[in-house]
Chain A
Amino acid sequence: MAAHSSGWRNRIAAWWQRRQALAQPWTAQRYVALDLETSGLDARHDSIIAVAWVELTPPLLDYQSARYYTVATAQTELNQSPVVHGLVSRDLQQVTPLAEVLKELEQVLDGAVLVCHHVQLDWAFLKQAGKAHQVRFKPLLRFDTLTFEGQRLKNSQHHIQRGSLTLSACRSRYGLPQYDAHHALSDAIACGELMLAQLYKYAGAQVVRLPRS
Chain B
Amino acid sequence: MQPELLEVQRFLLDCPPFDELNGEQRQWVAGQIKAAYVNEHNVDGLFKQHSPALYIVRSGGFDLLAPDGHLIERLESHDLFGFPSLLSGRAVVNKLQVIEDGIIYIITAAVFDQLRQHVRAFEQYFIRAHEQRLLSETARREGDVTRRGSLAGTANSSGTRQGSAVDTGAAGATELGSLGLSASGPKQEPVASYDALQLPVAEVIVRAPVMLSIHATIKEAAERMRDEKVSSVLVVEGPVAENAAAEGAVVKGTVVNDTAVNETAANSPADSEAAAVKLCGILTDRDLRNRVVAQGLAYDLQVNAVMTQAPATVYGRQTLMDALAIMTQENIHHLPVLNDADQPIGMITNTDLMRQQRSEPIMLISALNKAASKAQLVAEAAHIPAYMQTFAARVHDTTMVGRLLASLTDSMTRKLISLYEQEHGVAPGPYCWIAFGSQGREDQVLSSDQDNGLLLGNGLNDNQLDWFKGLGEYVSGGLHECGIPLCPGDIMASNVDCRRTLDGWLERFKSWTESPTPKALMYCQIFFDSRLVYGNKRLYQRYREQVARLAQKDFFLGNLARLQVSVQVPLGLFNRFRGTESGKDSDLINIKRYGIALINDIVRIYSLQAGIMVPQTLARLEALRGSKLLNNKDNQSLAEAWQFLTELRLQHQLQTWGSDQPKNALDPDELSTLTRRQLKTAFRIIKECQQGVGLKFGRIG
On A, residues with C-beta under 8 Å from B are 52, 58-64, 66-68, 174-177, 179-180, 183, 185-186, 189, 193, 196-197, 200-201, 203-205
Contact = CB atoms under 8 A, between A and B. Distances in A.
Nearest to B58: A177
Interface in B10-48: 30-39, 41-42, 46
B152 interface: no
Nearest to B35: A61
A62 B105 CA distance: 10
Contacts of B227: none
Nearest to B39: A200
A52 B37 contact: no
A193 B101 contact: no
Interface of B: 2-8, 30-39, 41-42, 46, 58-60, 77, 100-103, 106
A189 to B, nearest CB: 7
B37 A189 contact: no
Contact of B37 (A58, A63, A180, A205): A58
Given A66-B3, A193-B103, A196-B37, 18 more contacts: A58-B37, A59-B36, A59-B38, A59-B42, A63-B5, A63-B31, A66-B2, A66-B5, A67-B3, A177-B103, A180-B7, A185-B5, A193-B35, A193-B37, A197-B101, A200-B37, A200-B39, A200-B41
Contact of A60 (B2, B30, B31, B35): B35
Contacts of A193: 35, 37, 103
A63 B101 contact: no
Contact of B36 (A60, A67, A175, A186): A60
Contacts, number: 77
A52 B5 CA distance: 11
A196 B104 CA distance: 13
A200 B30 contact: no
B41 A189 contact: no
A186 B7 CA distance: 7
B101 A179 contact: no
Contacts of A63: 5, 8, 30-35
Contact of B34 (A62, A68, A179): A62
17 contacts: A52-B3, A58-B42, A59-B39, A59-B42, A59-B46, A60-B34, A61-B35, A63-B30, A68-B4, A175-B60, A175-B101, A176-B103, A177-B58, A180-B7, A183-B6, A185-B3, A193-B103
B7 A189 contact: yes
Contacts of A60: 34-36, 106
Contacts of B34: 60-64
A179 B5 CA distance: 12
Contacts of A52: 3
A169 B41 CA distance: 25
A68 B59 CA distance: 24
A68 to B, nearest CB: 3
Contact of B6 (A58, A62, A186): A186
Closest 5 CB pairs of A and B: A68-B3, A196-B37, A61-B35, A63-B33, A59-B37
A175 B7 CA distance: 17
Contacts of B32: 63-64
Contacts of A185: 3, 5
Which of B30, B42, B106 gathers most chain A CB within 10 Å?
B42
Nearest to A205: B41
Contacts of B41: 200, 203-205
A60 B107 CA distance: 12
Contacts of A68: 3-4
Contacts of B60: 175
B553 to A, nearest CB: 50
A193 B36 CA distance: 9
A64 B59 CA distance: 20
Nearest to A200: B39
Contacts of A204: 41
A92 B363 CA distance: 66
A155 to B, nearest CB: 20
Q: Which of A52, A66, A204, A205 has the most CB of B within 10 A?
A: A66
Contacts of A59: 36-39, 42, 46
B36 A180 contact: no
A53 B101 CA distance: 24
Which of B4, B30, B41 has the most CB atoms of chain A within a 10 A radius of its CB? Answer: B41
B24 to A, nearest CB: 16
